[in-house]
Copies of this chain bind each other. A is one copy, B any other.
């Protein structure tokens, strides 16, 4: 890992070598919400943002912009706003989605584990090594496909983190403090903030990616029609969709 490359040397420094395969990375990247308390070196940040900006966008217009918050007074103030937003959002979700009832009372349940992870994530938000605000420069009236020109880049960012031994997660925390955040960071009116991505070196292990069985997510030829090829590979771990039910089941 090129942890010691100075920014002035980046123009002559290639991207880091790969140690993870492409398909392996796509199928094993998961949300990372616990980070070691260490900064991300410039050469790693460069690689992450370079990968993000290689993503496609409509007509290759590249309307995505990435506002990277590391340290300093403005970044710290922005992280504090986002942290407050995250704590309020999580407090609402915790109640609304039954994290404190049913199996959530069993400390070993997946629900209780998720609750601890989320509580830690929002409590320690101000210490997240890097926060990236993914933005979208509007060039026309909003359409439902605008996200197709910014969320692929966010996914590239998260995948590139995985490639280099880092991890992250995408949130919507900006939504609750958008006005003050825009003022602080001088974000122009024609620019939409579309995601709050946190990044850092993972603390501790992270489990497998779990999804619904492939046959529930993929159809062939017509809605609801099973696809003969939609078969999970050996060893796939499943989960039900979404947060726990309000009933606590």
Contact = CB atoms under 8 A, between A and B. Distances in A.
Nearest to A227: B68
Interface in A158-204: 158-160, 162-164, 169-170, 172, 175, 185-188, 191-192, 194-195
A239 B57 CA distance: 13
Given A22-B162, A58-B172, A62-B241, 17 more contacts: A7-B229, A14-B235, A16-B23, A18-B21, A22-B160, A23-B47, A26-B159, A50-B232, A56-B158, A62-B242, A67-B223, A68-B219, A69-B220, A74-B222, A145-B195, A151-B151, A186-B223
Nearest to A195: B148
Contact of A18 (B22, B144, B163): B22
A218 B147 contact: no
Oligomeric state, in number of copies?
A: 2
Interface residues of A, number: 111
A183 B217 CA distance: 20
A21 B23 contact: no
A24 interface: yes
Contacts of A97: 59
Interface of A: 7, 10-31, 42-43, 45-47, 49-51, 53-56, 58-70, 72, 74-75, 93, 97, 139, 142, 144-148, 150-152, 154-156, 158-160, 162-164, 169-170, 172, 175, 185-188, 191-192, 194-195, 209-212, 214, 217-224, 227-236, 239, 241-243
